[in-house]
Structure 1
Amino acid sequence: MAAALYLLIYLICGVLIVRFILPAKNLVVRVWLGLSLGLILCMCLPAALAFLLAFSLVGHLAALLLLIIILGICYLLRDKKSPKVYGEEDKRAVKVLLITALPLTILGLYLQYTHNLRPAQGALHVGQSTFADLQMHVGMITSLVDAKLPAEYNIFPGARLSYPFLVNSLSTGLLIFGSSIQLALILPGTLMMGLVLTGYVLLALRISKSKRAVILAFALLFINGGLGFLYAFDMAGVSLGSEGANAMQSGVWAERLNNILNNWYQTPTNHREYAVYNLRWSNIIADILIPQRTFLAGWCVLLPCIYLLYDGLTDEKTARQFVLLGIMAGLLPLIHTHSYLALALISFGWMIWDIVKNRKLSKYWLIYAGIAALISLPQLMFFTFGQAAVDGSFIKLSFNWVNGQCGTKDYYLWFYIKNIGLPFLLLIFSLFEKNPTHRFIYLGAFMIFLPAEFIIFQPNEYDNNKLFYVWYALCCIPIAEYAVMLYDKMKGLRSQKVIAVFVCVVFFLSGGLSILREIKSDYILFSSGDVKVAEWAVQNTDKDSLFISGTGEVNPISSLSGRKIVCGNSFFLTNHGFDIKGREDDLKRFYMSPAENLDVIEKYGADYILYRDILFDTPLQKSDFDSLFNKVYDSPEDKIAIYKAK
């Protein structure tokens, strides 16, 4: 209750601040912008004070006091106009939101519940898409309790935490106010899902006058897929593959569908056999918004920023609007760096358009850019650029995104046609139309596409999709308007609706199957034994204790208890630019022969040793550890033990 009240205070204050600053905006837009601002402040204010007061109860109470001061300042500087009341535009927006955002927000709530440490018989369950990333996020949340900034990676001690951590520190705050770890994930996760879904609808309504186009654009973005379903349906009467080898075409008829819905990453949008199918356009709900918390939080800021910028350029400009835009944009780097980059690229394209149109640089651009730079540059210099320089693997040239990985796999355009589907063809066709609004939107969108197509901005080239999805989100609006126009031009054809149904099947079948698979997926992430050993660690070890452990993906010590381990999983760390080979080798030699490698304990200053019966794919002899170390925790049925290292 206290955690929910804490978050609610921020949300209410955010709505009031926007009411004071932008009273002329429609009520629905003001509420959405205000809730988004409240969420941003809930992430950023405690973090700003954490350099002095840590992520502690005192620090969070001080942040609430700072929030009230900011609210008071905004009241004193408020726009004296009467706030716009609920009107026809609001009614139109609510009708569309009830059709679009509400159902998918309910779906988001369900997936947040099933995919974020759902308790069952003492174990903690997740879904397919959260099985990997969630462990890192949970470890960050638990390790930040009472931690000062700058903090360390608890899975790589000694390295500054430079990953955009603010969405996780928000959940840390909820933990401090008494929330369970599951609620600390579900509550902000569902709120952010609702804000992103609502925000896209409101942005589309601001750009397009067609309600049908807005609904279609929404569906194209959030039920996105491609033509991957054709692999599963091709030659369905003959089994052409097997597990791990052309698996999507294994089995016949209904077995193909069963494979998609029940097996590990067999969906037609993000199939694990990349070398066979090259399907990489993941469904944004199933594989992005649910598991990737930083992406979700980033869009909670990005969409309001794009809205404010577009609205400010196409309507009467006000300094207050661009000040708010600059503040929100400036706070993006430690929420989601890719969203910050995408916004910068969009802004640059639209600024060029504005300068050419008006033959001068507007002062509002200077207000926006100046404030954004003032707030963001310290974050970039102190956190982001430092990590990017660790091994020089963050920025490199690479053509055609993941299609060029280890040699081009598909023809250039076919890669996008296959992965994105008919919307990509409609995008190409719509470029031939003389529509000023479409060209303006495409200018901003392709300012993202072109750099992302030629430059990899992080060690894992697949993660450029965080830029491509912003490009696609903007493009979906003119694509949808073009599709609606084509539909209207078929008026008089008796097959008009049949064609529309067929096109919708092609639009949404791959994405729909991916979402349905995610709804059905259920995996045990942490066993009951994992939960028990983590609880013991929380109750019996100091917060700064360091554990020697394996480097597997599932580690209850680093995730559930928030304690430090010598080295985490390579999947997380190499994607953040760290070279972990030295630490991995040290851990392997210690576990293989602890008596001969006691120097590892001294080298890293370890306090405890986590024993499991199998580590590094090798069975271990418990007697080797019993003879050397003092056992402080033992669970024979779970084959887990903890030893005092010193």
Structure 2
Amino acid sequence: MAGLACAAYLFGGLALSFRFFKGEGRAARLLLGGVWATVFCAVLPALWAFLWGFTAQANLCAAGTALVLGAACLPWGRFGRARGLPRFWRLSRREVPLLMTVGLLCAVAFTLTFTHVLRPDAAGALHSGQSTYGDMAMHLAFITSLAETGRFPPVYPLLAGEVPIGYPFLCETNSAGLYALGMDLRFSYILPMLLAMGCVFLGAYLLFRRMARGDARKAVLCTLLFFVGGGFGFAYFLDLLRSDPGNFTRIFTAFYETPTNYTSHNVLWVNPICDLMIPQRATLFGWAVLFACLYLLYRAAFEGQRRYFLPLGLLAGCLPLIHTHSFLALGIISLVLFLRAAAKGRCRWGALKPYLAYGALALCLALPQLFAFTFRQSSAEGFLRLHLNWANTQDEYLWFYIKNIGLTFLLLIPAFLHADARNRWFYLAGLPILILCEFVVFQPNTYDNNKLLYVWHLLGCGIVGILLVDVYDRLRGIRGRVYIAALTLTALCLSGVLTLGREAVSDYELFSSASVKAAAFARESTPPQARFLTADNHNNAIASLAGRDILCGSGSYLYFHGVDYAEAHAALRQLYEQPTNELLEQWGIDYVLIGAYERGGYAVEEDFYARSFPVVYDDGQGTLIYDVRTRAVG
């Protein structure tokens, strides 16, 4: 059933794209079709869930809706004329660089995804990579909770299932829907990511090709600069290489000591594939939509395709609960281009009307999401505050960006001066993002401003890549230009390549075999709405794999989401170390887990539970689950 739902979303997205973007090349139509499919898979189940909860029925209706939308877009009167199909699929030389670039990036990202997401070992434990060791457990908890409990709008399963989620949860509904329809948890997590990754890579390439006026070489270089490029962080590991080879090899063995993520030396400009797209689902799905929106915006603002403002408004309006940062970044860029159109057209109605219609449509769709969910979270302590110079804590201002972004940053000014008028404006439209992020922080974690900064960086890579190819062409006839180009490319990409290499060999056990077995019991033998008392370890299998509510999860998740968890966290310790029936009743605990994390984190009063409640699960190796619903309070 889940496979049929996937096919329905793909069919609906592609049919919509092929119907309304006839003037685009096949790559652009495939991109936009994939993006619409991604949006359908995330948004439609949520819309139906408002009626029936997040159930299999709601997800089947969502897939049916996508199927109907796709069928409505088919050219029913022209089925007998399919002569264009063979021509559509015929490979042209122009598309070879696209296929090679996007194919290479997809191969890298797909491989890392399959090795980093719940990879089982022979003993039954589940493994992750370096980048997914932190965030994946949280995403799994949201996904399994939605599918298991059917509650919608969703709540935090990591805080007793009582606090509404303000996090952009539409990055989870796609996988939760597939899981609810019977797909394996691992593949329901991975499958939507693969489509989104393809859309991100293809969207960036096509945007860069537009900026480069069709020059494939420039598009390839710009794409590599963004996804593989890095700063001068590699220098920290090449220093003293001859006397201490271990200084270099620790890139591949130490936890988060890479040329793009070396916090002790203030290197924070992480690789987009390793540290953003794979571990951060909101960023991945947000970029899939955002990059397509930027492509449409470029076509509409600079190439006269004003009819694209309508689909642009529809896609933009879906962004707040997919990735709020992407919505804000797109809004800033669009506002600057609106002001450009107003100045250029001297505020004539004809010049402003398309932008105003686009903005009105996007806001009509976005404002209900923002007021119902996003603003509720962002009003918490730590959100939206003044803070200077992003996450730089050690270096001079310019040196911080030079060593983090490298040659790409150094070449921004000459690249801007070299750019044509429309690319100058496009880069200028993204520049306020950098300025804003240098003075304002939007989340408790200051580092998270990079979700905005990378959109500015995307536009910078576009103009720098164009400059580098033009300089290379002007060096024609000069001996050694190939060596100069190779040296430049090495300086641009060495940090990124080393980071990708580190990620490829990383392997960490996320859930032990004992945790996996306990979670399987919880999922199969306890009610979906049951509340568990567990330790607050971030890799909590009861929450992540079984989809059950726990009293209090990891503070590293809850704090950065602006959730007040202090009372529940204090009660958690008391319930393990000084438990009473009254306290269990007060917090509505149904089951108590006692295992390695609980014994390691608390002085557990096991005698109380052993004499008071039945053991419903015992793996024979020290992991116990007590059913405490039989408590007597009096």
- Establish whether TM, by shorter chain, passes 0.5: yes
1:208 is matched with 212
Q: Cα distance, 1:60 vs. partner?
A: 1.5
1:607 and 2:590 matched: yes
Q: CA RMSD, aligned part only?
A: 2.4
Q: Cα distance, 1:4 vs. partner?
A: 2.6
1:111 and 2:115 matched: no
The 5-angstrom pairing of residues 212-223 of structure 1 reads: 212-223=217-228
2:612 is matched with 628
Q: Cα distance, 1:548 vs. partner?
A: 1.2
Cα distance in 1, alignment partners of residues 126 and 506 from structure 2: 14
Cα distance in 2, alignment partners of residues 525 and 329 from structure 1: 35
1:394 and 2:378 matched: no
Q: Cα distance, 1:591 vs. partner?
A: 1.5
Q: Is the 8 A contact 1:52 1:148 kept in 2?
A: no
1:448 is matched with 433
Cα distance in 2, alignment partners of residues 4 and 202 from structure 1: 29
1:261 and 2:252 matched: yes
Cα distance in 1, alignment partners of residues 162 and 603 from structure 2: 30
Q: Deviations over 1:467-490 (max 9, x none)?
A: 011111111111101111222233
Q: Is the 8 A contact 1:612 1:620 kept in 2?
A: no
The 5-angstrom pairing of residues 212-611 of structure 1 reads: 212-238=217-243, 252-253=244-245, 255-271=246-262, 274=263, 276-319=264-307, 321-360=308-347, 361-389=351-379, 391-403=380-392, 408-433=393-418, 435-594=420-579, 597-611=580-594
Q: Deviations over 1:157-205 (max 9, x none)?
A: 2210221111211111111222100111121111111111111111111
2:137 is matched with 135
**Amino acid paired to 1:21:** F
**Amino acid paired to 1:461:** T
1:642 and 2:626 matched: yes
Q: Deviations over 1:235-284 (max 9, x none)?
A: 2345xxxxxxxxxxxxx12x22321112211111112xx2x300100111
Cα distance in 2, alignment partners of residues 523 and 423 from structure 1: 33
**Amino acid paired to 2:344:** K
1:244 is matched with none
1:241 is matched with none
**Amino acid paired to 1:187:** L
**Amino acid paired to 1:472:** H
Cα distance in 1, alignment partners of residues 606 and 77 from structure 2: 68
1:148 and 2:151 matched: yes
Residue 592 of structure 2 aligns to a residue in which SS? strand
Residue 224 of structure 2 aligns to a residue in which SS? helix
Are residues 318 and 438 of structure 1, via their aligned partners in 2, closer, same or farther at CA, if it must alter by over 3 Å? closer
**Amino acid paired to 2:236:** Y
Are residues 413 and 78 of structure 1, via their aligned partners in 2, closer, same or farther at CA, if it must alter by over 3 Å? farther
Which stretch shows the higher mean deviation, 615-624 or 458-467? 615-624
Cα distance in 2, alignment partners of residues 352 and 180 from structure 1: 49
Cα distance in 1, alignment partners of residues 152 and 83 from structure 2: 40
**Amino acid paired to 1:99:** M
Cα distance in 1, alignment partners of residues 90 and 375 from structure 2: 43
Q: Is the 8 A contact 1:635 1:641 kept in 2?
A: no
Are residues 143 and 316 of structure 1, via their aligned partners in 2, closer, same or farther at CA, if it must alter by over 3 Å? same
Cα distance in 2, alignment partners of residues 583 and 83 from structure 1: 65
Q: Is the 8 A contact 2:241 2:248 kept in 1?
A: no
The 5-angstrom pairing of residues 12-91 of structure 1 reads: 12-71=11-70, 74=73, 91=92
Q: Is the 8 A contact 1:351 1:365 kept in 2?
A: yes
Are residues 614 and 17 of structure 1, via their aligned partners in 2, closer, same or farther at CA, if it must alter by over 3 Å? closer
Q: Is the 8 A contact 2:12 2:68 kept in 1?
A: no
**Amino acid paired to 1:191:** L
Cα distance in 2, alignment partners of residues 68 and 214 from structure 1: 35
Q: Is the 8 A contact 1:224 1:508 kept in 2?
A: yes
**Amino acid paired to 1:219:** L
Are residues 213 and 638 of structure 1, via their aligned partners in 2, closer, same or farther at CA, if it must alter by over 3 Å? farther
1:183 and 2:187 matched: yes
Q: Deviations over 1:343-382 (max 9, x none)?
A: 0011011111111122224211122111101111000000
Q: Cα distance, 1:233 vs. partner?
A: 1.1
Q: Is the 8 A contact 1:531 1:556 kept in 2?
A: yes
**Amino acid paired to 1:232:** F
Q: Is the 8 A contact 2:56 2:180 kept in 1?
A: yes
Cα distance in 1, alignment partners of residues 533 and 605 from structure 2: 16
Count how many residue pairs are aligned between Structure 1 and Structure 2: 620
Are residues 370 and 258 of structure 1, via their aligned partners in 2, closer, same or farther at CA, if it must alter by over 3 Å? same
Are residues 638 and 93 of structure 1, via their aligned partners in 2, closer, same or farther at CA, if it must alter by over 3 Å? farther
Residue 627 of structure 1 aligns to a residue in which SS? helix
Q: Deviations over 1:189-224 (max 9, x none)?
A: 111111111111111111113222111111111113
Cα distance in 2, alignment partners of residues 93 and 336 from structure 1: 33
**Amino acid paired to 1:620:** V
Residue 132 of structure 1 aligns to a residue in which SS? helix
Cα distance in 2, alignment partners of residues 635 and 591 from structure 1: 20
Show structure 1 runs of 5+ residues with no match: 239-251
Q: Deviations over 1:56-115 (max 9, x none)?
A: 121112223332443455569999xx9998589983552122221101112222111111
**Amino acid paired to 2:154:** A
Percent same amino acid at aligned positions?
37
**Amino acid paired to 2:536:** T
Which stretch shows the higher mean deviation, 285-294 or 256-265? 256-265
Cα distance in 2, alignment partners of residues 337 and 325 from structure 1: 16
Q: Is the 8 A contact 2:59 2:177 kept in 1?
A: yes
Which stretch shows the higher mean deviation, 612-621 or 102-111? 612-621
Cα distance in 2, alignment partners of residues 333 and 92 from structure 1: 39
Q: Is the 8 A contact 2:179 2:185 kept in 1?
A: yes
